[in-house]
Structure 1
Amino acid sequence: MGVATAPSGPVSESDRTGPGRAHWLRVARETADDLATDAVAREQAGKAPFDEVSRLREAGLLTLLIPAELGGGGADWPTAYAVVREIAVADGAIGQLLGCHYFLSWSARFFGEPALAARVERQSAAEQWCWGGGFAYQEMPLTLARKAGGYVLDGRQSYATGVLVADRLAMRAIRADTGEPLAVVVDSARHGVRIDGDADTFGQRLAAGGSVEFDAVPVVADDVLGSLSADEDVVSPLAALASPVGRLVSVQLCLGMAEGVLAEAREYSRAGHAPWHPAWPVGSPQDPQLLTTYGELTVLTRSASALTDQALLAVHGGLARGEDLTYDECAEISVLVAMAEAAASRAALESTARALDIIGARSASSRLGLDRFWRNARTHTLYEPVAHRLRDVGDYFLNGAHPPLIPLA
């Protein structure tokens, strides 16, 4: 059996509404430039990113994926991925926050009925919601128990992205009477919701991660988006596509961090010294060892980027097929995304570590702030390890086995 290929091409630009890809990429670059001006100071302060979310909201980026007829930007997933990557070049933590928001704010379309998805997205656009949370497995799952008029949600999730600044939380909960996993959306201000900024990670400090506790939180029927079952008899191929769509956000984030650190290291090397510390010279830009290192890291990052482009084309093609998508096609897409994950993770880890070697001992300066790239990349890859993805690729290549149908964010 061959390795995954795109099942179909992307929809054309004319099939979409809204300002268009060029507009959003320009907005993303302007926002990234704005974030870059104080990236080191903000990261070192480590405050909850309310100001950063306000910048994203004012730029219109929070509603980018919502259809224009529902009050959003009308963009597609390839555009959203490009925006996440552009933001991650300047600030990996805010890139993660935004990417998680895109996936969760779109989750009603994966798991819910069209009418429910439209209601959720229309309100999200009107009120400019920022979404946080995630659907990954927890050590002690949240439980959803029936009660008169709906449900109650109980339990604790030890870490979820974006929860410190989120207006809405999208979470995985197990239905108490049947054991079925469900996607649930909850107002973060609802009585019984407690959010703590207790993550204390050494990287991705501005991703607004923390723990969330739910104490008999009321949940109405419209707050239950749909099933998160991994059973092919329950979940549709389109809903199963949620996993590779979400994981491709992680790929773009890793590539953005790799590209960001290489851009800063290159600027330092070209200048010949740190702009704020002329006494700190750097090696000659004609140093063969320096050129070889830049060459190796450029090849590594560009190779991962090329593989990511193939995965993006496959994901977009799968979304375009909609209900016509098959499980075999979903498996092909998932495997191609897994390959991109492995390549992008390696590119991020090697680039962010070896960039420090390029600069040398001067990179230890907190004023330079290069360490934030390594800390951000290492933290993210600890939460999103790729060893099991490589096993999925190998099992698919050798045995034709489908990867697990597990959504995440």
Structure 2
Amino acid sequence: MGVAPAPSGPAADSGPAGPGPAHWLRVARESADDLATDAVAREQAGKPPLDEVSRLREAGLLTLLVPAESGGGGADWTTTYAVVREIAAADGAIGQLLGGHYFLSWSARLLTGPSRAAALDRRCAGEQWCWGGGLARQDPPLTLTRARGGGHVLDGRQDYATGVLVADRLAVRAVRADTGEPLAVVVDPAHRGVGTGGDADAFGQRLAAGGSVEFDSVPVAADDVLGSLSADEDILSPPTALASPVGRLLSVQLRLGMAEGVLAEAREYSRAGRSPGHCPRPAGSGQDPQVLAAYGELAVLTRSASALAGQALEAVHGGLARGADLTYDEYADISVLVAMAEAASSRAAQESTARALDIVGARSASSRLGFDRFWRNARTHTLYEPVAPRLRDVGDYFLNGAHPPFVLPA
């Protein structure tokens, strides 16, 4: 089906700033092939993905977005989206884990000052951190209270956050107890007073290392309060607001990767000519008009969503390049285009992962084949990231010209 395109122009394998897009896409494909070999067994075991994170770390993918001058891969978001999509096609849960890691580590740099950002980059690259947590609004919120001796104290419970079971650093949203201002905070999960639990108990995305995290009077240094997450336009600048479409476009790539992954596996199964038992012809045979029509419809659906995602990617890339010159109207255009891509990719993922089971036939019910994991993963992700609010944003923008709200991915 193809994956998210690398940046336009020559795909250099390396350059002055470090390895180029071609190198990282090759690494991503090799890592995806490695994950695919035991994807079914790992998903059924449902253990915390410590080994999987080690594989990503050894491949250099955890530091992909860190600037080369700080010891990282020096990649841009266009390459990063393509990497997430490749990994998601092989293992949707690991794709989510990796995408969340990229967004949270990048957001930490975006929200703080240059010197603190540079220090975070160096430590992230040097110690090969894996990031987990979540910056989306939740109720009740975590609270940040000023401590007598300086700094703050963090308290509360976050019911679900991606990657918490394997994270070296957590980025979470907390509100100041005195003013109610939402802030991004970075926490070492090994710190006393931090407790994580793998109690999400979801039927899909079981290897995304999701779970709850509790904070009991956890000291937070001043440098670990990264910045404001307020949606007030007097505080939130258009470049900072881009964190919303940047993060949500990761979800788009994740969904497209799942759709392409299940169709690729179903196609291989169909080409093998195995019979599902109750059908008069081999599943997916080239002579079955219903199978051909189903493959054709899903290929069109997924490729159309991919094209819209490509337009959204170009818009995000352009917005990031605009920097401080970006306006709120331009931000709104970008955010709405990403919302459209979210809607299209959600439909592509849900229909492809469900209808692929019909194409394969009764044999798709075999747990040994693991076709069900694609549907469970896609459905779980779309429950945590529902598309209905994004459709309302698109409609309100189309009809009334209303700017979409500042919403961070769950």
TM bin, normalised by shorter chain, reads over 0.9
Structure with the larger RCO, 1 or 2 (CA within 8 Å, 6+ apart): 1
- 1:272 corresponds to which residue? 273
**CA–CA separation in structure 2 for the residues paired with 1:311 and 1:266:** 28
Q: SS of the counterpart of 2:18?
A: coil
Shift of 1:218: 0.4
1:161-210 residue CA offsets vs partner (Å, 9 max, x unmatched):
00000000000000111100000000010000000001110000000000
- 1:379 corresponds to which residue? 380
Letter in 2 for 1:296: E
1:369-405 residue CA offsets vs partner (Å, 9 max, x unmatched):
0000000000000000010101101111111100002
Range with bigger deviation, 214-223 or 266-275: 266-275
1:88-113 residue CA offsets vs partner (Å, 9 max, x unmatched):
00000000000000000101232111
- 2:398 corresponds to which residue? 397
Q: SS of the counterpart of 1:158?
A: strand
Range with bigger deviation, 115-124 or 201-210: 115-124
Q: SS of the counterpart of 1:106?
A: helix
Shift of 1:124: 0.6
- 2:106 corresponds to which residue? 106
- 1:305 corresponds to which residue? 306
Asked if the contact 2:259/2:353 (under 8 Å) is kept, the reply is yes
Q: SS of the counterpart of 1:284?
A: coil
Once the two structures are superposed, the pairs formed by residues 170-185 of structure 1 within 5 Å of their partners are 170-185=171-186
| Unpaired runs of at least 5, structure 2 | 1-6
**CA–CA separation in structure 2 for the residues paired with 1:284 and 1:83:** 32
**CA–CA separation in structure 2 for the residues paired with 1:270 and 1:97:** 32
Letter in 2 for 1:127: E
Q: SS of the counterpart of 2:337?
A: helix
1:108-144 residue CA offsets vs partner (Å, 9 max, x unmatched):
2321112211111111111000000011111210000
- Over 6 Å off, 4+ runs: 9-16
Asked if the contact 2:385/2:409 (under 8 Å) is kept, the reply is no
Asked if the contact 1:194/1:212 (under 8 Å) is kept, the reply is yes
- 1:46 corresponds to which residue? 46
**CA–CA separation in structure 1 for the residues paired with 2:313 and 2:8:** 9
**CA–CA separation in structure 1 for the residues paired with 2:390 and 2:17:** 35
Asked if the contact 2:169/2:188 (under 8 Å) is kept, the reply is yes
Identity %: 80
Q: SS of the counterpart of 2:159?
A: strand
Q: SS of the counterpart of 1:206?
A: coil
**CA–CA separation in structure 1 for the residues paired with 2:9 and 2:154:** 39
Matched, 1:159 2:160: yes
Asked if the contact 1:10/1:317 (under 8 Å) is kept, the reply is no
Once the two structures are superposed, the pairs formed by residues 216-295 of structure 1 within 5 Å of their partners are 216-273=217-274, 281-295=282-296
Paired positions, count: 398
RMSD: 1.8
1:133-159 residue CA offsets vs partner (Å, 9 max, x unmatched):
011111210000001220000000000
1:252-278 residue CA offsets vs partner (Å, 9 max, x unmatched):
000000000000000011111179xxx
Asked if the contact 1:198/1:211 (under 8 Å) is kept, the reply is yes
**CA–CA separation in structure 1 for the residues paired with 2:109 and 2:330:** 19
Q: TM-score, normalised by structure 2?
A: 0.94
Shift of 1:282: 2.1
Letter in 1 for 2:388: A
| Unpaired runs of at least 5, structure 1 | 1-8
**CA–CA separation in structure 2 for the residues paired with 1:226 and 1:12:** 37
Range with bigger deviation, 20-29 or 100-109: 100-109
**CA–CA separation in structure 2 for the residues paired with 1:304 and 1:257:** 13
Change (3 A) 1:10 1:335: farther
**CA–CA separation in structure 1 for the residues paired with 2:348 and 2:44:** 24
Q: TM-score, normalised by structure 1?
A: 0.95
